Chain A
Amino acid sequence: MADPILELVSLVKRHGGVLAVDHVSFGINRGEFFSIVGPSGAGKTSVLRMIAGFESPDEGEIRIEGRSIRGIPPHRRPVNLIFQSYALFPHLTVAENVAFGPKMQGMATGDIQSRVRDVLDMVKLTRKETRLPAQLSGGEQQRVAIARALINQPAVLLLDEPLSALDQQLRQEMQGELKAIQKRVGISFVCVTHHQKEALALSDRLAVMHQGRVLQIGTPEEIYGNPDCRFIAQFVGNSNELRGMLIANEGGSGLFRSHDLEDGQSIRVHVSGDVESHKPVAFVVRPERLHLSETIERSAFENSLQGRVEKVLYLGSELQYTIQLSRSVQWTVQVSCLSGRQKVWPVGTTLFVQWQAQDGLVLPL
C-alpha cells in the first residue's frame, strides 16, 4: 500500500534555456529503497539537489510527510545527503564528523556520544573513532558518510552515486551492506546512479530518467522485463534491436517486419496495448533469452533467424556471441556455461538464433 513519505509533484528546473528537469513527479514510500537511474545529464542530480534544498525548483512541489518544503533552507530539511565525494570534514575525527549533525541541532553531549557509538557500531567502524578522514580507506570513508547522515534520523536519505568511487570488489560488498543498512534502519533511501545494474540490485523500485523526464517507474522486474520504451530497454540491461513495423496485430499476437533483415522474414511478437500497426517501432529481445543452435527447432521456438558467428567472448561464467544476422544487424547472444565442457562455436559458424515470441517486445521508439 502506498504510503508516500516523499512526493515530487510536477517538478521543473531550467538551466539557462534548457529544461533540465521536465515535470517530474513520483512518490517514495516509507522504508523503501528507491533509485533514480539515467545517463549523465538526465536531470537526476538536479532532482536530488532540489530535494536536499541546494537548488530551488522553478515550478512544482516537494512534499515530505505531506508538508511542502518549498522555501525551507537545506539545514532545516528533514533530509540528509551523502555526497559522491563524501565531503567528510578533513579537520574533524570520525567521531566528530558523525557527531556534527546532532551538535548543530544542539543536542546534549552525553546523548550525542551514545548515539555516535550506536551508529558507528551499525556501520562497523567502532574502533576508528579517533581517526581523521585522510587516514581511512575509501570504503571506510563511505561508511563514515553514511553514519554521519543516518545519525540525524532523516525522513529520507539521499545518495549521490554512492558506489562510483569504489573499485569493483568493494562495490559488490558495499552493495550488500548498503541494502542491509537500509533494511535495518527502515529509512527511505533515494539513490541516484547511472549504473543500472546497481540500481536493479539495490532498489525496491526505481525510476528511469532521460533528458529531464521520468520515463518509467517500477520494480526492477517490471523495468527490466517490461520496459515501456526502446530507450529503457537499451539503457537498463542489454537489448538486441530491430527497427521496423507491426504488419499485423490480432488480440496481442502480431507480426513484425524489419527492412534490416534481408530476406523479408516476419517475426512473431506479443503486443501490449498501445503499440500501433504500420508505424515505426522497435523490436527488442534480451541476449540471455536467445537460443543458439545449428538446426531450427520449430516446435520449441516460434522465431528463428539465421546468422554467422562474428565474435566470441569468453567471460568465465558465460559466453557472449556476436552474430551477424544481415548486413546491418549484429546481435549479442549470451550463453551460460553450465558445464565445463560447453561447446564453443568458432567464428564463421552459421547458426540459428531462436526465441519464443513472448520473450521479445515491440516498443515505441
Chain B
Amino acid sequence: MKHREAWLRSVALFNLAFLYFPILVLLVFSFNASRLAATWQGFSWHWYGQLIENGALHAATGNSLLVAVVSTALAMVLGIPAAMGLERLARRSQHILGGMLLLPLVIPEVMMGVSLLLLFVMAGMPLGLTTVILGHTVFNLPVVIVIVRARLRKLDSCLGEAAADLGASPWQILRQVTFPLLRPAILGAVLMAFTVSLDDFIVTFFVAGPGATTLPLKVYSMIKSGVSPEINALSALMVLLSMSLVGVSLLLQRR
C-alpha cells in the first residue's frame, strides 16, 4: 500500500514538474545576460529593456487588447441571451441547437481559420483588425454560452416564476433576479473569453491583414526569425500576465 502511495505521488509530482519546467526555464533565462541563450552568463534586465523600446510590439499589444475587448463584448451580447434561450428549449432541441452553437469548440482551429478566410475573400472584405475581431467572436461565443449556461442550470427554475408571481415584469425579472444571480458566470465568461482571445494564434493567422498584427502573431514572426532572449523576456511577461488574470478570476469567484 505504501509503495503505491509513494509511486502515485512521484508520478503526480513528475507531471507537475513537467508542466512547469518550460515556464520556469523561460522566466529564468529571460534574465540571462548572454545572447547565447542556454548558458547562464549573469543577471540582466537588458532584454526587458529591448522590449520596452520595441515599437512594433507596442502596436501589436494594443491590437491584441482591442481585439480582445471588442470580441469579448460581442460574444457576451450574443452569448448571454443565447444561453438563456437554450435553457428554455425542450431537451432534444437543446441538444441539437446547442451542438450547433458550440461547434467551434470541436472544430480544429485550422478549419475555422481557413473557412473564415474564404468567407472574407469571397465577400470581398479586406483583411484587417475587423476580420480578426469577427473571427475571435466566433470562437468566443461558445465559451460564453458554456459558462453562462452552466450557471443557469444550477439555478432553481422556479425563481423566474416566483419573481413574476410577486409582480415583477419580464424586464424587472432580468434586472432583479437573473443578472444578479448570473454575475459570477458573467465575470468568469468575460475573463475566459478575454484570455482566449489574447491567446489565439491560428484563426488570427489566417484572417489578419497587414497592420492587424496581434501579439501572438508578432511573437510568432520573432520566433521564426530565430531564438532570441528578447522572446524569452516577452514570453515571461505574457506568462505573468496570464497568471495574474487567473489570480483575479479566482479571487472574484471566491466572493
Q: Which of B165, B176, B180 contacts A52 (CB 8 A)?
A: B165
Q: Which of A74, A89, A104, A148 contacts B159 (CB 8 A)?
A: A89
Interface contact A83-B158, CB-CB below 8 Å: yes
Contact residues on B (Cβ < 8 Å of other chain), bracket? 10 to 19
Q: Is A54 an interface residue (CB 8 A)?
A: yes
Query: Provided the pairs A89-B177, A91-B180 are in contact, do residues A75 and B169 lie with their beta carbons within 8 angstroms?
Result: yes
Q: Is A8 an interface residue (CB 8 A)?
A: no
Interface contact B158-A74, CB-CB below 8 Å: no
Residue with the highest number of chain A CB atoms closer than 10 Å, among B162, B163, B164, B177: B162
Q: How far is the CB of A191 from chain B (nearest CB, A)?
A: 16
Which chain B residue shows the least CB distance to A83?
B158
State in angstroms the CA–CA spacing of A120 and B159 once bound together.
21
Interface contact B172-A54, CB-CB below 8 Å: no
Q: Knowing that A74-B165, A75-B164, A85-B158 are A-B contacts, what are 6 other residue pairs whose CB atoms are under 8 Å apart, sorted by A's residue number?
A: A52-B165, A54-B161, A74-B164, A85-B156, A104-B169, A152-B166
Q: Which of A54, A73, A80 contacts B166 (CB 8 A)?
A: A80
Q: How far is the CB of A149 from chain B (nearest CB, A)?
A: 8
Q: How far is the CB of B21 from chain A (nearest CB, A)?
A: 43
Q: Is B181 an interface residue (CB 8 A)?
A: yes
Q: How far is the CB of B186 from chain A (nearest CB, A)?
A: 13
State in angstroms the CA–CA spacing of A79 and B180 once bound together.
26
Interface of B is mostly: helix
Q: Is A225 an interface residue (CB 8 A)?
A: no
Interface contact B181-A90, CB-CB below 8 Å: yes
Interface contact B168-A104, CB-CB below 8 Å: yes
Q: Which of A75, A81, A90, A149 contacts B168 (CB 8 A)?
A: A75
Q: Is A101 an interface residue (CB 8 A)?
A: yes
Q: How far is the CB of A99 from chain B (nearest CB, A)?
A: 10
Chain A residues with Cβ below 8 Å from B163 are 89, 100, 104
Which chain A residue shows the least CB distance to B173?
A75
State in angstroms the CA–CA spacing of A152 and B168 once bound together.
12
Q: Is A299 an interface residue (CB 8 A)?
A: no
Q: How far is the CB of A246 from chain B (nearest CB, A)?
A: 50
Q: Is A87 an interface residue (CB 8 A)?
A: yes
Interface code A135-160, partner B: CB below 8 Å = 1, 0 otherwise? 00000000000001100100000000
Which chain A residue shows the least CB distance to B162?
A87
Q: Is A114 an interface residue (CB 8 A)?
A: no
User: What are the 8 A-B residue pairs with the smallest beta carbon separation, nearest first?
Assistant: A87-B162, A87-B158, A104-B167, A101-B166, A74-B164, A104-B168, A75-B164, A83-B158
Q: How far is the CB of A147 from chain B (nearest CB, A)?
A: 12
Q: Is A328 an interface residue (CB 8 A)?
A: no
Interface contact A104-B161, CB-CB below 8 Å: no
Q: Which of B159, B161, B167 contacts A101 (CB 8 A)?
A: B167
State in angstroms the CA–CA spacing of A100 and B177 once bound together.
10
Chain B residues with Cβ below 8 Å from A152 are 166-167
Q: Which of B156, B161, B166, B180 contacts A100 (CB 8 A)?
A: B166
Chain B residues with Cβ below 8 Å from A90 are 181
